[in-house]
Amino acid sequence: MVEFLSYEGSFTAASGPAAGMTSVAIPVEETSTTPVGFSLQRTGSGCEASDFTWTGPLAASSGALNAGQAYDATLCGDDPPPPPVVITKIYDIQGAGHISPYVGQQVTTEAVVTAVAFDGYYVQDPLGDSDDATSDGIFVFVGAAGAKPAIGDLVRLQDIVQEFIPGGAGTGNLSITELTAPAITVLSNGNTLPSPVVVGTGGRIPPNVLVISGAETPVNLQTVPGVFNPAVDGIDFYQSLEGMRVTVQDAVAVSALRRFGNFTSELFTLSDNGANVAPATARTARGGINLQSHPDNLGDQNPERVQIQFDASPQFAGTLYPGTAPLIKVGDRLGDLTGMMSYDFGNFEVRLTEAASVVTPSAIGPETTALAGDKHKLTIATYNVLNLSPDASDDAQQATLAEHIVDHLSPDIIALQEVQDNSGETDDGVTAASLTLILLANAVAAAGGPAYQFIDVPPANNSSGGVPGGNIRSAYLYNPERVQVREISSLTSTALALLGVSDPDAFAGSRAPLLVEFQFQGQKVTIINNHLSSPSGSSRIFGGPQPFSQNAEATRGKRQTKSSRHCTSSPPNCADRVHPDGRPGIPARWNPSDRNGRSTGRLARGRHLRSMRSSVRNRDPCLVHALASVLWPRIRERHPGPVQRRSVG
């Protein structure tokens, strides 16, 4: 009730909104001579009733202020009415490109929360714009301690649009369009989530040849939106789904599951059980997919592969995946996989939000070697043990490795890579890996294998790459009933410099090659165990700077060729046993291919080496170099000989 007025006297209301109130009589009146169209009016200036005086009759002013009347809100301290809220839709924020047209601008948007991660949450426009080129979703970063709404909440968000590059521009990564700790208002709860976009037949089929069209390059998509063509270019296809719910239809694994610590695991898949690959013969016999990008790196980079990410850990509240990632091998069919389209470490990835399982297991199993050692034959294997540590969390990995070694390899000598030190990833100055290797050797023995001994040369702390504190290195297990150790040489930069090698720092920041001279049936067998870093200076296939560039390729090829030439020339008596083409036989274990699909191992082997599948006959008088190269070799140019003698376990 603002005012209770009456005319020609006052009274007390008996009921209604003014019940019990006495009216205020208007102090002026009309007479019988008042013309039609006149009225009683208030005049004055202010904002309260007391600021105005009754007068009249005067000419009526319906719909307008009376003559001599002014309302002044500032005198009463009232705020002007707020401007209407302008809602910017997420698909407009995302735009058709790699950079938001609203970057750096403040926006207000409304959307439904579709997933909650440990460091933020995803929201998506509930209706979308039906335009395949513009994403309807976006990630909202708030940090691990930030407040997060519930899935199904309809929220209003106000923030400045940002383009976040994981790791910074120097990584070559693309940016992610984000809101960061916005002002939030929850408008309603329990809303139905938007249906996921189907990746596959019946939905959107990923491009299967081009990451980016050649006519669009060179370009840096960290700084410009680019020419956007998601129907043709893989990099645009996945960008157009950034932040959205997606379902990879009838997914088949083209890689095994790989775990990274206790938080995340990943694998690569194809939709529709691989029906839409190009060329149609791209699948391998074991269920993978061949890389056919050609030496110029401008060919088929397999953009139809979809990376699947399992973010699951009891250590982090709110991880996206519900449970523990299942064990998955190449060729396993996984049914439909649903999650959020995201990006990290140079790849688009679907961060699963719904449980996954192996629907139809692949019929393939681990291969078992047909090679067997005897009094005339020595067997050598190489195995990357993937950051093996003595931590209890690696017990299952130890057991799996032991099973593989005993049931599928049974070698006399194993060249190991990625062996962590005795304290695992704890950065405490410990560098020895004796406990890690003893536990592995014990697991092999428990699985029915030989009583291996180990060879370990600890690196300087944090000098060998890998996770800080882990001190990964190359090492050996060997069967002392079959071979004896004569010399152990760690080919560090200092050792190579003393030997006059032209590029002694070729292995700086990586693992030093570990050369061991064994004796088998009275003959010398020398093995160099290499685990080298990925190509320095190469860019991301799904990165900002395009086209993709593998800058170290020529250097690796030259070093490989020089290395193999050295192997064939030392020692002189290798010429006693030659192949029909006149070259001495040298067993070698090479990495099968470079990133561009060209085989670096073939480059060296084709000209200078003959692969003997790591089976060494004791009657061969050659000094044998088994180059256990897990990644891309950068090997010394001449045989350095024994550098330092070490004890063995």
Q: What percentage of the chain reaches a pLDDT higher than 90?
A: 58
Q: What percent of the chain has pLDDT over 70?
A: 81
pLDDT at residue 318 in the model: 67
The lowest-confidence range among 205-214, 402-411, 569-578 is 569-578
Summarised one tens digit per residue, pLDDT across range 174-194 is 999 999 999 999 999 999 999
pLDDT, tens only, 38-62: 888 888 887 777 788 888 888 888 7
Q: Determine the average pLDDT of the residues in 66-75.
A: 74
Q: pLDDT tens-digit profile of 535-567?
A: 556 789 999 999 988 765 554 544 443 334 334
Q: Are 370 and 392 in contact (CB under 8 A)?
A: no
Contact yes or no for 223/312 (Cβ under 8 A):
no
| CATH assignment, 90-188 | 2.40.50.140
Residue 13: CB partners within 8 Å, gap ≥ 6?
A: 4, 19, 20, 21, 22, 23
Among 53-57, 210-214, 217-221, 341-345, where is mean pLDDT lowest? 53-57
User: Across the chain, what does the average pLDDT equal?
Assistant: 83
The answer on pLDDT for 594 being more than 90 is no
DSSP-derived letter for residue 447 is: T
Q: Poorest-confidence range of 15-24, 119-128, 435-444?
A: 15-24
pLDDT digits (tens, 9 = 90+) for 253-297: 999 998 887 778 999 999 999 999 999 999 999 999 998 877 666
CA nearest to 627, candidates 521, 526, 536: 526
Q: Kindly report, as residue ranges, where domains of CATH 2.40.50.140 are found in the chain.
A: 90-188
The class that CATH gives domain 377-482 is alpha beta
H-helix or E-strand spanning residue 38: strand 38-46
DSSP states of 94-138:
H-SSSS-TTTTSEEEEEEEEEEEETTEEEEE-SS--S-TTS-SEE
Q: Give the pLDDT score at 227.
A: 96
Q: What is the pLDDT of residue 349?
A: 97
Q: pLDDT tens digits, residue range 358-375?
A: 999 999 887 888 899 999
| Residue range(s) of every CATH 3.60.10.10 domain in the chain | 377-482
Confidence grade of residue 97 (pLDDT, cut at 50, 70, 90): very high
Rounded Cα distance between 588 and 157, Å, is 60
pLDDT at 645 over 50: no
> For 250-259, how does the pLDDT look when each residue is reduced to its tens digit (9 = 90+)?
999 999 998 8
pLDDT category at 169 given cuts 50, 70, 90 is very high
Of 73-82, 497-506, 516-525, which gets the smallest average pLDDT? 73-82
**For 431, which DSSP code?**
-
Question: Residue 591: pLDDT above 80?
Answer: no
What confidence score (pLDDT) does residue 495 get? 87
Which pTM was predicted?
Answer: 0.69
What pLDDT is stored for residue 627 in this prediction?
Answer: 34
| pLDDT at residue 5, rounded to an integer | 87
